[in-house]
Structure 1
């Protein structure tokens, strides 16, 4: 079974320079990706921000929790999973590894990229 090439592209993140990479070189102008239109809505602190959906893995056999999971996937695309049984020490180690990856220079990140982007 062959995958639609357009669907295959969905798994690739845009390769954009991080703020750390941008700060290493003098810039004549801010890259357009980082410029926001003046007409963009102002975020007000008086309105509460929506909360990331929280899914309880121990309750996934209930219809209510399954509906929450469906909503989280469909409307948000992600969720926080609790009561999953993964040790806190492992979760913290993974967070540390992720932070170390994002702190790498762009050239090092490119070397680790599954689909080599140029």
Structure 2
């Protein structure tokens, strides 16, 4: 398959926050100071609606499928999102992703800069969607890249990550794709979509 370059946006280069905090700052740099906003007040009383929780094992069970499908349908129609439980994604694997991501951000700058964003691209280590020199910035650095489909991975990013980190992310990405494929297939059937449509698209994830 021929690899086609894709762009997920552009961004201007800005200082790394992890480098800024090493300096003896007496105040937050002006570009990171955001106007005071009225905080969003969220009621937590007993009448507040709860985020829908969908049990994947019940969705796959003949005994509970109908009830769980109704909950899934309602969540999609009324909320647009839901929390998925019992999805068989290993908590140990999720913990490894978190730990190894933290370890990546502790690497020396000369190591992390190997994965820096290239001009006109948001993928890599840095910030995102900085479009002007006076734009307010978020007090963070981030590592962002495409993992799937594999042929769209940038050669200087994912393939060159430390082996252990890359293998963990590979397993995590594969797990997420499998879970997403199952949920999309169930949603498709619930919408009475033609099997050929979502089966074909599963192969293109």
Match of 2:38 among 25, 36, 41: 41
Contact 2:12 2:119 in 1 (8 A): no
The residue number in structure 1 matching 2:112 is 109
* Whole-angstrom CA distance in 1 between matches of 2:106 and 2:52: 28
Aligned pairs for 1:1-20 (under 5 A) are 8-10=7-9, 17-18=16-17, 20=18
How many residues end up aligned between the 2 structures?
103
Which stretches in structure 2 are left out of the alignment for 5+ residues?
121-205
* Whole-angstrom CA distance in 1 between matches of 2:30 and 2:54: 38
The residue number in structure 1 matching 2:101 is 98
* Whole-angstrom CA distance in 2 between matches of 1:116 and 1:30: 24
Which stretches in structure 1 are left out of the alignment for 5+ residues?
73-78
Counting helix residues as a fraction of each chain, which structure ranks higher?
1
* Whole-angstrom CA distance in 2 between matches of 1:52 and 1:102: 32
- How high is the TM-score relative to the length of structure 1? 0.52
Aligned pairs for 1:47-66 (under 5 A) are 47-48=43-44, 54-58=53-57, 59=59, 62-66=69-73
* Whole-angstrom CA distance in 2 between matches of 1:63 and 1:117: 47
- RMSD (CA atoms): 4.3
